[in-house]
Amino acid sequence: MGYDPVFLGERHEVPLPVLLGKTAEDALENGRVYDFTHFSIVMNKRRKFAVYSAACVDKSRFVNIPRTNRLWHLDDRIGAMNQVGPEYYAQNDYDKGHLTRRRDVCWGERHEAEKANRDSFCYANIVLQHHNFNTGVWNCLEDWILNRMESEKKLIVFTGPIFREDDEEYCGVQGQPGCQVKIPFGFWKSVFFVDGQHRLKSLSFLIRQSPERFNDACEYRRLQTYQVPLTTITRETELLFKHTLYEANPLYFWPYRLAAAGCLVTPERHLITQPADIIMDRE
Protein backbone atom coordinates (compact mmCIF):
# COMPACT_ATOMS: atom_id res chain seq x y z
CA MET A 1 0.00 0.00 0.00
CA GLY A 2 1.26 3.45 -0.87
CA TYR A 3 0.65 6.79 0.81
CA ASP A 4 -2.34 6.86 3.17
CA PRO A 5 -3.89 10.33 3.73
CA VAL A 6 -5.57 9.20 6.98
CA PHE A 7 -2.45 7.51 8.36
CA LEU A 8 -2.52 9.94 11.31
CA GLY A 9 -6.23 9.29 11.93
CA GLU A 10 -9.56 10.20 10.34
CA ARG A 11 -9.61 13.55 12.17
CA HIS A 12 -6.17 14.48 10.85
CA GLU A 13 -6.34 13.84 7.13
CA VAL A 14 -3.34 14.96 5.07
CA PRO A 15 -4.37 14.74 1.38
CA LEU A 16 -1.80 14.80 -1.37
CA PRO A 17 -1.23 18.34 -2.67
CA VAL A 18 -2.76 19.75 -5.84
CA LEU A 19 -0.29 20.52 -8.63
CA LEU A 20 -0.41 24.08 -9.99
CA GLY A 21 1.04 25.99 -12.94
CA LYS A 22 4.27 24.73 -14.47
CA THR A 23 4.42 21.85 -11.99
CA ALA A 24 1.07 20.58 -13.27
CA GLU A 25 2.15 21.05 -16.90
CA ASP A 26 5.34 19.06 -16.37
CA ALA A 27 3.79 16.24 -14.34
CA LEU A 28 4.00 12.77 -15.87
CA GLU A 29 0.63 11.29 -16.91
CA ASN A 30 -1.25 14.34 -15.62
CA GLY A 31 0.10 13.90 -12.12
CA ARG A 32 -0.47 10.18 -11.75
CA VAL A 33 0.38 8.91 -8.27
CA TYR A 34 2.70 5.89 -8.30
CA ASP A 35 2.29 3.78 -5.17
CA PHE A 36 5.15 1.93 -3.48
CA THR A 37 5.26 0.24 -0.08
CA HIS A 38 4.51 2.94 2.53
CA PHE A 39 5.14 5.81 0.11
CA SER A 40 3.94 7.33 -3.17
CA ILE A 41 5.56 9.43 -5.88
CA VAL A 42 4.47 11.92 -8.55
CA MET A 43 6.96 12.36 -11.41
CA ASN A 44 8.11 15.36 -13.45
CA LYS A 45 8.26 14.22 -17.10
CA ARG A 46 10.57 17.06 -18.16
CA ARG A 47 13.11 16.79 -15.34
CA LYS A 48 12.73 12.98 -14.92
CA PHE A 49 12.88 13.33 -11.15
CA ALA A 50 10.01 13.13 -8.68
CA VAL A 51 7.86 16.19 -8.07
CA TYR A 52 7.58 14.85 -4.53
CA SER A 53 7.65 11.63 -2.54
CA ALA A 54 5.11 11.20 0.28
CA ALA A 55 5.77 8.62 2.99
CA CYS A 56 3.98 7.16 6.00
CA VAL A 57 6.37 6.42 8.87
CA ASP A 58 5.52 4.26 11.91
CA LYS A 59 8.47 4.49 14.28
CA SER A 60 6.93 1.98 16.69
CA ARG A 61 7.09 -0.75 14.03
CA PHE A 62 10.55 -0.20 12.55
CA VAL A 63 12.33 -3.33 11.29
CA ASN A 64 16.10 -3.42 10.94
CA ILE A 65 16.73 -4.28 7.28
CA PRO A 66 20.43 -4.28 6.32
CA ARG A 67 21.30 -1.95 3.47
CA THR A 68 22.59 -3.38 0.21
CA ASN A 69 23.48 -1.55 -2.99
CA ARG A 70 22.31 -4.41 -5.19
CA LEU A 71 18.68 -3.26 -5.20
CA TRP A 72 18.82 -0.23 -7.53
CA HIS A 73 16.17 -0.52 -10.24
CA LEU A 74 14.00 1.43 -12.67
CA ASP A 75 10.23 1.29 -12.25
CA ASP A 76 8.48 -0.33 -15.22
CA ARG A 77 5.25 1.59 -14.66
CA ILE A 78 7.04 4.92 -14.94
CA GLY A 79 9.31 3.84 -17.79
CA ALA A 80 13.08 4.10 -18.14
CA MET A 81 12.72 7.15 -20.40
CA ASN A 82 11.07 9.05 -17.52
CA GLN A 83 13.71 8.31 -14.87
CA VAL A 84 17.30 9.51 -14.46
CA GLY A 85 19.20 6.23 -14.59
CA PRO A 86 22.49 4.87 -13.21
CA GLU A 87 24.73 6.35 -15.91
CA TYR A 88 24.24 9.83 -14.42
CA TYR A 89 25.59 8.74 -11.03
CA ALA A 90 28.71 6.90 -12.25
CA GLN A 91 32.29 8.10 -11.75
CA ASN A 92 31.42 11.49 -10.31
CA ASP A 93 30.79 13.33 -7.05
CA TYR A 94 27.02 12.87 -7.17
CA ASP A 95 25.22 10.40 -4.93
CA LYS A 96 21.96 8.60 -5.46
CA GLY A 97 20.13 10.75 -2.94
CA HIS A 98 16.96 9.18 -1.55
CA LEU A 99 13.92 11.43 -1.29
CA THR A 100 11.92 9.10 0.95
CA ARG A 101 14.52 7.63 3.27
CA ARG A 102 15.07 3.90 3.18
CA ARG A 103 14.95 3.54 6.97
CA ASP A 104 11.69 5.47 7.24
CA VAL A 105 9.66 2.95 5.26
CA CYS A 106 11.22 -0.23 6.71
CA TRP A 107 8.41 -0.98 9.14
CA GLY A 108 5.55 -3.44 9.58
CA GLU A 109 5.77 -7.20 9.10
CA ARG A 110 9.20 -8.47 8.02
CA HIS A 111 8.14 -9.20 4.44
CA GLU A 112 6.47 -5.79 4.25
CA ALA A 113 9.58 -3.97 5.49
CA GLU A 114 11.76 -5.89 3.04
CA LYS A 115 9.51 -4.89 0.15
CA ALA A 116 9.56 -1.25 1.28
CA ASN A 117 13.34 -1.41 1.51
CA ARG A 118 13.58 -2.59 -2.10
CA ASP A 119 11.02 -0.05 -3.29
CA SER A 120 13.06 2.79 -1.80
CA PHE A 121 15.92 1.93 -4.17
CA CYS A 122 13.84 2.77 -7.24
CA TYR A 123 15.41 5.50 -9.39
CA ALA A 124 12.11 7.39 -9.21
CA ASN A 125 12.86 7.95 -5.51
CA ILE A 126 16.41 9.12 -6.23
CA VAL A 127 17.83 12.49 -7.20
CA LEU A 128 21.26 13.91 -8.01
CA GLN A 129 22.79 15.11 -4.75
CA HIS A 130 26.41 16.08 -4.31
CA HIS A 131 28.17 13.62 -1.99
CA ASN A 132 28.96 16.33 0.59
CA PHE A 133 25.35 17.48 0.59
CA ASN A 134 23.86 13.98 0.77
CA THR A 135 26.09 12.84 3.62
CA GLY A 136 26.05 16.18 5.42
CA VAL A 137 23.16 18.55 6.06
CA TRP A 138 20.58 16.53 4.12
CA ASN A 139 21.44 13.36 6.00
CA CYS A 140 21.29 15.19 9.32
CA LEU A 141 18.02 17.04 8.80
CA GLU A 142 15.53 14.25 9.38
CA ASP A 143 17.64 12.83 12.21
CA TRP A 144 17.34 16.24 13.84
CA ILE A 145 13.58 16.22 13.31
CA LEU A 146 13.22 12.74 14.82
CA ASN A 147 15.40 13.82 17.73
CA ARG A 148 12.85 16.52 18.58
CA MET A 149 9.86 14.20 18.14
CA GLU A 150 10.69 11.18 20.30
CA SER A 151 7.13 10.75 21.61
CA GLU A 152 5.38 10.99 18.22
CA LYS A 153 5.31 7.49 16.74
CA LYS A 154 3.57 8.17 13.43
CA LEU A 155 4.75 10.72 10.90
CA ILE A 156 3.87 11.76 7.37
CA VAL A 157 6.90 13.03 5.45
CA PHE A 158 6.80 14.87 2.12
CA THR A 159 10.12 15.41 0.35
CA GLY A 160 11.00 16.83 -3.03
CA PRO A 161 13.44 18.80 -5.17
CA ILE A 162 13.20 22.49 -5.99
CA PHE A 163 13.62 23.18 -9.70
CA ARG A 164 14.80 26.35 -11.45
CA GLU A 165 14.93 27.01 -15.18
CA ASP A 166 18.62 27.92 -14.89
CA ASP A 167 19.60 24.74 -13.01
CA GLU A 168 22.95 23.36 -14.16
CA GLU A 169 22.72 20.65 -16.83
CA TYR A 170 24.57 17.43 -16.07
CA CYS A 171 24.82 14.66 -18.68
CA GLY A 172 27.14 12.23 -16.93
CA VAL A 173 30.83 11.55 -17.50
CA GLN A 174 30.29 10.08 -20.97
CA GLY A 175 27.18 12.06 -21.92
CA GLN A 176 26.81 14.75 -24.55
CA PRO A 177 25.44 18.23 -23.76
CA GLY A 178 21.73 18.62 -24.40
CA CYS A 179 20.53 15.67 -22.31
CA GLN A 180 18.16 18.01 -20.39
CA VAL A 181 19.03 16.39 -17.04
CA LYS A 182 19.67 19.16 -14.52
CA ILE A 183 20.88 19.29 -10.92
CA PRO A 184 18.06 20.55 -8.65
CA PHE A 185 18.48 23.97 -7.09
CA GLY A 186 17.55 22.66 -3.66
CA PHE A 187 15.27 20.41 -1.64
CA TRP A 188 12.34 20.71 0.72
CA LYS A 189 10.81 18.53 3.40
CA SER A 190 7.49 18.82 5.27
CA VAL A 191 6.63 16.61 8.24
CA PHE A 192 3.13 16.16 9.67
CA PHE A 193 2.32 14.57 13.03
CA VAL A 194 -0.18 14.61 15.90
CA ASP A 195 1.18 16.05 19.13
CA GLY A 196 0.49 15.04 22.73
CA GLN A 197 -2.59 17.27 22.82
CA HIS A 198 -4.04 15.53 19.74
CA ARG A 199 -3.37 18.50 17.47
CA LEU A 200 -2.17 18.13 13.90
CA LYS A 201 1.20 19.85 13.57
CA SER A 202 3.69 20.32 10.75
CA LEU A 203 7.29 21.37 10.21
CA SER A 204 8.77 22.46 6.88
CA PHE A 205 12.38 22.88 5.80
CA LEU A 206 14.28 24.21 2.82
CA ILE A 207 17.91 23.58 1.82
CA ARG A 208 19.72 25.00 -1.17
CA GLN A 209 22.09 22.74 -3.13
CA SER A 210 24.64 25.08 -4.67
CA PRO A 211 27.22 23.20 -6.81
CA GLU A 212 29.82 25.96 -6.71
CA ARG A 213 30.02 25.71 -2.92
CA PHE A 214 31.07 22.08 -2.92
CA ASN A 215 34.53 22.87 -4.26
CA ASP A 216 35.41 24.60 -1.01
CA ALA A 217 35.16 22.65 2.25
CA CYS A 218 34.85 25.84 4.29
CA GLU A 219 32.02 27.08 2.10
CA TYR A 220 30.29 23.72 2.41
CA ARG A 221 30.25 24.00 6.19
CA ARG A 222 28.25 27.18 5.81
CA LEU A 223 25.45 25.54 3.84
CA GLN A 224 22.29 26.55 5.63
CA THR A 225 19.07 24.77 6.48
CA TYR A 226 15.99 26.88 7.08
CA GLN A 227 12.73 26.08 8.80
CA VAL A 228 9.98 27.81 6.83
CA PRO A 229 6.18 28.13 6.70
CA LEU A 230 4.34 25.65 4.49
CA THR A 231 3.37 28.65 2.35
CA THR A 232 7.04 28.94 1.35
CA ILE A 233 7.01 25.34 0.13
CA THR A 234 3.96 26.13 -2.00
CA ARG A 235 5.65 29.23 -3.40
CA GLU A 236 8.80 27.29 -4.31
CA THR A 237 7.12 24.17 -5.74
CA GLU A 238 3.60 25.10 -6.91
CA LEU A 239 2.14 22.39 -4.69
CA LEU A 240 -1.08 23.45 -2.99
CA PHE A 241 -1.86 21.66 0.27
CA LYS A 242 -5.18 21.45 2.10
CA HIS A 243 -5.80 24.86 3.67
CA THR A 244 -5.85 23.61 7.28
CA LEU A 245 -2.34 22.20 6.89
CA TYR A 246 -0.90 25.70 6.54
CA GLU A 247 -2.33 26.59 9.94
CA ALA A 248 -0.65 23.53 11.49
CA ASN A 249 2.81 25.00 10.82
CA PRO A 250 4.32 26.86 13.82
CA LEU A 251 5.67 29.65 11.58
CA TYR A 252 2.25 30.36 10.07
CA PHE A 253 1.48 33.33 12.31
CA TRP A 254 4.98 34.67 12.63
CA PRO A 255 5.23 38.30 11.50
CA TYR A 256 6.92 38.68 8.13
CA ARG A 257 9.84 40.75 9.35
CA LEU A 258 11.66 40.60 6.02
CA ALA A 259 8.56 41.67 4.13
CA ALA A 260 8.02 44.53 6.54
CA ALA A 261 11.55 45.68 5.85
CA GLY A 262 10.75 45.96 2.17
CA CYS A 263 12.15 42.62 0.95
CA LEU A 264 8.77 41.39 -0.26
CA VAL A 265 10.14 38.53 -2.36
CA THR A 266 12.08 37.00 0.54
CA PRO A 267 10.18 34.35 2.53
CA GLU A 268 10.23 34.21 6.30
CA ARG A 269 12.79 31.64 7.41
CA HIS A 270 14.44 30.39 10.57
CA LEU A 271 18.03 29.13 10.51
CA ILE A 272 18.60 25.58 11.80
CA THR A 273 22.07 24.53 12.97
CA GLN A 274 21.14 21.90 15.59
CA PRO A 275 18.05 19.95 16.73
CA ALA A 276 17.27 22.45 19.49
CA ASP A 277 16.78 25.19 16.88
CA ILE A 278 13.67 23.54 15.45
CA ILE A 279 10.52 25.45 16.40
CA MET A 280 7.78 23.01 17.38
CA ASP A 281 5.05 25.43 18.57
CA ARG A 282 3.97 29.02 18.05
CA GLU A 283 3.89 29.72 21.76
- Sign for the CA dihedral angle at 80, 84, 89, 95 comes to negative
Mean pLDDT for all residues in the chain: 85
Q: How confident is the model at residue 270 (pLDDT cuts 50, 70, 90)?
A: confident
> Can 12 be counted among the known catalytic residues?
no
All residues at 6 or more sequence positions from 228 whose CB lies less than 8 Å from its CB, including other chains: 204, 205, 206, 251, 267, 268, 269, 270
Quick one: average pLDDT of 95-117? Answer: 95
Question: Would you say residue 197 lies in a domain?
Answer: yes
On whether the CB atoms of residues 232 and 204 are closer than 8 A, the answer is yes
Question: Would you say residue 118 lies in a domain?
Answer: yes
3-class SS letters over 35-92: EECCEEEEEECCCCCEEEEEEEEEHHHECCCCCCCCCCECCCCCCHHHCCCHHHCCCC
Express each pLDDT in 173-192 by its tens digit: 777 888 889 999 999 999 99
Full domain range(s) for residue 218 = 10-277
**Is 139 annotated among the ligand-binding residues?**
no
Higher per-residue confidence, 206 vs 263: 206
Question: Would you say residue 4 lies in a domain?
Answer: no
Q: Give pLDDT, residue 268.
A: 63
Quick one: average pLDDT of 68-76? Answer: 93
Catalytic residue among 73, 98, 130, 198: 98
Q: Give pLDDT, residue 210.
A: 62
Number of folded domains that form the chain: 1
Quick one: average pLDDT of 119-139? Answer: 81
Q: Give pLDDT, residue 76.
A: 98
Question: Would you say residue 40 lies in a domain?
Answer: yes
Question: Would you say residue 283 lies in a domain?
Answer: no
Q: What are the beta bridge partners of residue 18?
A: 240
Quick one: average pLDDT of 194-202? Answer: 92
Question: Would you say residue 136 lies in a domain?
Answer: yes
Quick one: average pLDDT of 60-81? Answer: 95
Q: How confident is the model at residue 42 (pLDDT cuts 50, 70, 90)?
A: very high
Q: How confident is the model at residue 283 (pLDDT cuts 50, 70, 90)?
A: low
Q: What is the CATH number of the domain that holds 46?
A: 3.40.570.10
Question: Would you say residue 2 lies in a domain?
Answer: no
Q: Give pLDDT, residue 217.
A: 42
**Residue 112 scores a pLDDT above 60:** yes
Q: Give pLDDT, residue 91.
A: 77
Q: Cα separation of 214 and 222, whole Å?
A: 10
Question: Would you say residue 3 lies in a domain?
Answer: no
**Residue 258 scores a pLDDT above 50:** no
Quick one: average pLDDT of 231-258? Answer: 80
